[in-house]
């Protein structure tokens, strides 16, 4: 299968030959209220940045997380891991690079990198989320529609 | 009607003769994540402090806000006004003094003062909340049970 | 003085004839963590939206708030007033319309409107901030450079 | 060495025989603004709960984190890992159980459990923080005073 990169403005859908994955870049600017008295972004506020990353990645694939919930699918977070390399600071323009590196089943795993405007890697993270049927509150498989959209990125 | 003060640990129910009102003190400690790079509590984080103040005031009156919601009554905020006099800082032990100065009808008004451990007044605020029926999403009068509890503080 | 509107992408600098003012629109999307269990944006989280509004308004004028702080000028908030008309919801794309309606002196006043993608006005607000010399921690006049930039919007 | 448990009001210093560690319980109540539209505490807000846990654990040992910073020692977070078992909900009274299971060197590791009022384990977490000299911004060993206080818990 040939190498393929689609571009669309500042956000890109990468489909590199190796490894199989889906990747998306989202940009956000650090707000004053997100800093703490060290002058750094508070360590807990990155969780919102990763949420922006994965929501925008899903939107790029055509899946509004809002619509998932309206269809009775919830996606609570099961695991969060963050390694902080360098602090982000007030007004920094950050790129949240989000990757899906495996086809979801009952779980979906997102990997993240936060990179500042100078290209410095500030932190790396991973979240595991569980698809939950909001009627029964039990785990369920990822919606077929999402799997169908993701398969081409992994099927080679 | 005689002056009356009930005490119960650190929280007090004042029923001073004048003016008619209900007052409650709640204590909280400033968290690191609530500071910003000025070293002050971020101006938006006081909204949570006032929420703690009014929720604990209602609890003191026997009304768990959680139970209100379970009974189909929501209390969205309609108005918020804050005047910031002095900054609160990391680890400060704050008193949120909350007052109800009028019997609620469709609205309930809370006044707040935030005072630090040295007795310095840091800020003053006021919120107006609306009682909403969560089935119809329309404004409604305050629950009679709440009015009955509050009347003695205003009826003199 | 002739009516004048400069445009630049999605953000506009309005210099309407009447009244004298500077206006700027910033866009932001509601994050999941900003909602509460009513399904609304938490009332305190609007403070960050207004901060985004005024910071982007100042940036549009050529004033990075970060640079102001580096030059020894702090801008703590003295007053905040918000009236909430309708709730904002998860994933809503909001416009924060920010206006400076008077030349700053020791204080600068910003007015805000938050408008959703359907053009519905969700809330209105006002903040008053004080220019403070971070060496002496005393109030000071607005930097002359900022006044010089703003005068054309008010001088007619 | 005999088993020893010191008690002091609701917070306890455990020195069980095995394993060597320091443990502290802090209580906090879930605020409305910490819930999201699922009705759960937002996954990122636990970071503040862990901060409360470790700050109160250090305070119990006689170390105000505020004082550490004033003495030129910063403690940025290097790693955060959280596993979410069950959701915390609005108004829940939570216990944040914090453990130090090894003598710190340049790093200090805290383990956490969040437990609700019914004794249900809601989540488990771990943070690694680095002692940094705020003058040089370089890693440094834990202050000797802290080590001296902790040694009895590990020295057996």
pLDDT digits (tens, 9 = 90+) for C40-57: 999 999 999 999 999 999
- Lowest-confidence pick of A4-13, A50-59, D73-82: A4-13
Using the Cβ of D45 and the Cβ atoms of chain C, whether some distance falls under 8 Å is answered with: yes
The 3-class SS string of chain C reads: CCCEEEEECCEEEEECCCCCCEEEEEEEECCHHHECCCCEECHHHHHHHHHHHHHHHHHHCCCCHHHHHHCCEECCEEEEEEEECCCCECCCEEEEEEEECCCCCCEEEEEEEEECCCCCEEEEEEEEEECEECCCCEECCCCHHHHHHHHHHHCC
**Which one of A9, A27, A33, A116 makes the best mutation probe of the C interface by having the most chain C beta carbons within 10 Å?**
A33
Look at residue B18 in the predicted model and tell me its pLDDT: 52
Average pLDDT over residues C62-80: 92
Interchain contact A45–C (C-beta under 8 A): no
CA nearest D54: which of D31, D77, D88?
Answer: D77
Q: pLDDT category, A20, cuts 50, 70, 90?
A: confident
> Two tokens at C145?
């450079």
Distances (CA, A) of D55 to D48, D61, D96: 10, 10, 11
Question: How far apart are the C-alpha atoms of A2 and A16, rounded to whole Å?
Answer: 9
Angstrom CA distances, C156 to A114, C1, D142, stand at: 47, 7, 63
User: How many other CB atoms are found less than 10 A from the CB of residue D120?
Assistant: 12
Residue range D10-16: mean pLDDT, rounded:
47
**In angstroms, rounded to a whole number, what is the distance separating the alpha carbons of residues D1 and D17?**
7
Instruction: Write the pLDDT tens digit of every residue in C142-151.
Output: 999 999 999 9
Please tell me which chains touch C, using 3 or more CB pairs under 8 Å as the contact test.
Answer: A, B, D
* Domains along chain D with CATH numbers: 4-154 (3.10.129.10)
Chain C with chain D: Cβ pairs closer than 8 A: 28
Q: Which residues of D touch C36 (CB under 8 A)?
A: 32-33, 35-37
Task: Quote the longest CA-to-CA distance of chain D.
Answer: 51
What does the alpha-carbon distance between residue C96 and residue B77 come to, in Å, rounded to a whole number? 19
Q: Do D38 and A74 touch (CB under 8 A)?
A: yes
3-state SS record for chain D: CCCEEEEECEEEEEECCCCCCEEEEEEEECCHHHECCCCEECHHHHHHHHHHHHHHHHHHCCCCHHHHHHCCEECCEEEEEEEECCCCECCCEEEEEEEECCCCCCEEEEEEEEECCCCCEEEEEEEEEECEECCCCEECCCCHHHHHHHHHHHCC
Question: What is the pLDDT, as a whole number, of residue C20?
Answer: 77
Contact residues, chain D, for C45 at CB < 8 Å: 33
Report d(CA D85, CA D113) in Å as an integer.
11
Q: Per mean pLDDT, which range of A37-51, C29-43, C140-154, D8-22 is the poorest? A: D8-22
Partner-chain contact D84 A74, CB within 8 Å = no
Asked if A155 is an active-site residue, the reply is: no
Shortest CA gap C37–chain D (Å): 4
Give SS3 for B50: helix
pLDDT tens string B69-121: 888 999 999 999 999 999 999 999 999 999 999 999 999 999 999 999 999 99
Confidence of residue A17 (pLDDT cuts 50, 70, 90): low
CA proximity to B112, closest of B151, B41, B54, B45? B54
D32 touching B, CB under 8 A?
Answer: yes
Using CA atoms, how far apart are residues A94 and A25, in angstroms rounded to an integer? 10
Q: How far is D14 from chain B (nearest CA, A)?
A: 24
pTM: 0.88
């Amino acid at each position: 299968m040939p190498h393929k990169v689609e571009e669309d403005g500042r956000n890109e859908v990468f489909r590199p030959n190796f490894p199989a994955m889906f990747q998306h870049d989202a940009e956000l600017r650090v707000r004053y209220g997100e800093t703490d008295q060290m002058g750094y972004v508070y360590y807990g506020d990155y969780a919102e940045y990763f949420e922006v990353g994965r929501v925008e990645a899903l939107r790029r694939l055509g899946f509004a997380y809002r619509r998932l919930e309206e269809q009775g699918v919830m996606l609570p977070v099961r695991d969060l891991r963050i390694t902080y390399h360098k602090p982000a600071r007030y007004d920094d323009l950050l790129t949240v690079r989000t990757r899906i590196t495996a086809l979801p089943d009952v779980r979906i795993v997102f990997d993240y990198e936060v990179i500042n405007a100078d290209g410095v890697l500030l932190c790396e993270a991973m979240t595991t989320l569980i698809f939950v049927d909001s009627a029964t509150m039990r785990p369920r498989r990822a919606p077929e529609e999402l799997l169908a959209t993701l398969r081409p990125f992994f099927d080679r």
